[in-house]
Copies of this chain bind each other. A is one copy, B any other.
Amino acid sequence: MGECERMNVAKFGGSSLADAGQIKKVASIITADTDRKIIVVSAPGKRSDEDTKVTDLLIHLGETALAGKDTADALQNVVERFRSITEELGLSEDMLRIIEKDLQERVDYTKESPERFLDQMKAAGEDNNAKVIAGYLQSQGVLSEYINPAEAGLYVSDTPGNAQVLPESYDNLYKLRERKGILIFPGFFGYSKEGKLVTFSRGGSDITGSIVAAGIKADLYENFTDVDSVFAANPKVVKDPVAIKRMTYREMRELSYAGFAVFHDEALIPAFQKSIPVCVKNTNNPKTSGTMIISEREYALNPVIGIAADKGFSTLYVRKYLMNREVGFGRRLLSIIEDEGISYEHIPSGIDDTSVILDNSQLTPAAEEKIISRITEELEADDVYFEKGLAMIMLVGEGMHETVGIAARATKALMEKEINIEMINQGSSEVSLAFGIKEEQVDDAIRGLYEEFFSTKEVLQ
């Protein structure tokens, strides 16, 4: 390798690899830039809205096997899905026989631990797709090879469905820099120190990509998906929102929190920790520059970078006279919530009252009832109730904290849309300002804030 050569890791998601046509696109992207050295791949995803992902076919196959039923049809469904790919890619029958044999071995794997059995079954999608893509690149005369995570030294905790990378993996992966040609690396799983296959949680291929990029100390981690970039606001609410060209990890994390699910932000932590620049790009439109996610950005001109919003929050309101004199009140209140396994979002507090903002998905009528009765009895509160229908809207940007007047502009924009602010939370995060508003006003609020900070143009009504 020459000194000027760069080493990039590119990750392609399931929709980018759903069929032979998509895989050909991906191959041309890979070969278009000689810096792309390690390619992390997902299993083939949906070809249309009605289609089934290969991973879901594999889960069905695994469950059939666990139920002790005949697996022939379910296995053949997976094989046929791969056949439609390999044939169109012009690969030999050998490839398909390798896949079929692999699937049969997985079906025959010990069912002592059903969890572990399903883990190794689900991983077949990524694993075989990596072999197909390596084979196709070879057939096109490109120096490339499939690499197994065990061979690469990607070791993880022995926690099926929720693998955590072990620290030594990074040094092991660094050695991949010595390999010649393009390596095709299956996403979604690693191996325990005892050699057991273990999958990551959701966003699994993103996690692998991020770990590999961190391990080899990539110059760039390209995350190919099906959108051109991250936008300053939800395109379903704001017409043609501004594309974000550069944003920081912190901004991405705050935006991901509410409604910016371009990818699972926690997957990027390994890359963030090693300060690897991440680029979000579109497989179907690789010429657009996408969104770069970096450690720091110049923010003097645009202190605010995006607006995120999410519905489905509740307020737990607690009032008790002289609450603020009671050392331990807040802690005991949070203990009661914690006892129900519930985490909180924000805790705006008054003098004699406090509210806890909670995600509805964590609440059940039983938990609510228990929380109310415990707060009433144990904390002797004067008033306790839940209020539903809260949306959180966040203004995100590195420059917000240092720029006088952001809160004034934001609250004015909301006022002009006649939106009553139920909650404001500013003060800890230096990169966000959060408002609580009524759910039915959230789209109006996004438009109002977008107009104020990004555009003087009319927005979608």
Contact = CB atoms under 8 A, between A and B. Distances in A.
Interface stretch (A178-186, A288-296, A344-352): A344-352
Interface in A189-214: none
A254 B319 CA distance: 14
- By size class, the interface of chain A is 35 or more
Interface of A: 250, 253-254, 257, 266, 269, 315, 317, 321-322, 324-328, 330-331, 334-335, 338, 341-355, 357, 402, 404-405, 407-408, 410-412, 414-415, 418-433, 436
Given A407-B411, A407-B421, A424-B426, 18 more contacts: A253-B351, A257-B324, A266-B325, A328-B334, A330-B334, A330-B347, A334-B334, A346-B427, A350-B432, A351-B429, A357-B427, A404-B419, A404-B420, A408-B415, A410-B411, A424-B424, A424-B425, A425-B425
A407 to B, nearest CB: 4
Contact of A254 (B330, B338, B350): B350
A225 to B, nearest CB: 22
A428 B355 contact: yes
- Chain A at the B interface: mostly helix, strand, loop or mixed? mixed
A351 B254 contact: yes
A275 to B, nearest CB: 14
Nearest to A390: B427
Contact of A331 (B327, B338, B408): B338
Given A355-B427, A425-B348, A418 B404 contact: yes
Given A420-B404, A423-B427, A331 B334 contact: yes
A347 B81 CA distance: 53
Contact of A349 (B324, B346, B351, B404): B346
A359 to B, nearest CB: 10
Contacts of A254: 350-351
Given A350-B432, A411-B407, A415-B408, A345 B324 contact: yes
Given A327-B341, A334-B331, A354 B428 contact: yes
A352 B411 contact: no
Contacts of A421: 407, 426
Contacts of A331: 331, 334-335, 338
Nearest to A315: B427
Contacts of A410: 411
Given A330-B334, A330-B344, A335-B331, A428 B350 contact: yes
A272 to B, nearest CB: 8
A325 B427 CA distance: 20
Nearest to A353: B428
A257 B324 CA distance: 10
A326 B348 contact: no
A258 to B, nearest CB: 9
Contacts of A322: 266, 269
Contacts of A325: 266, 343
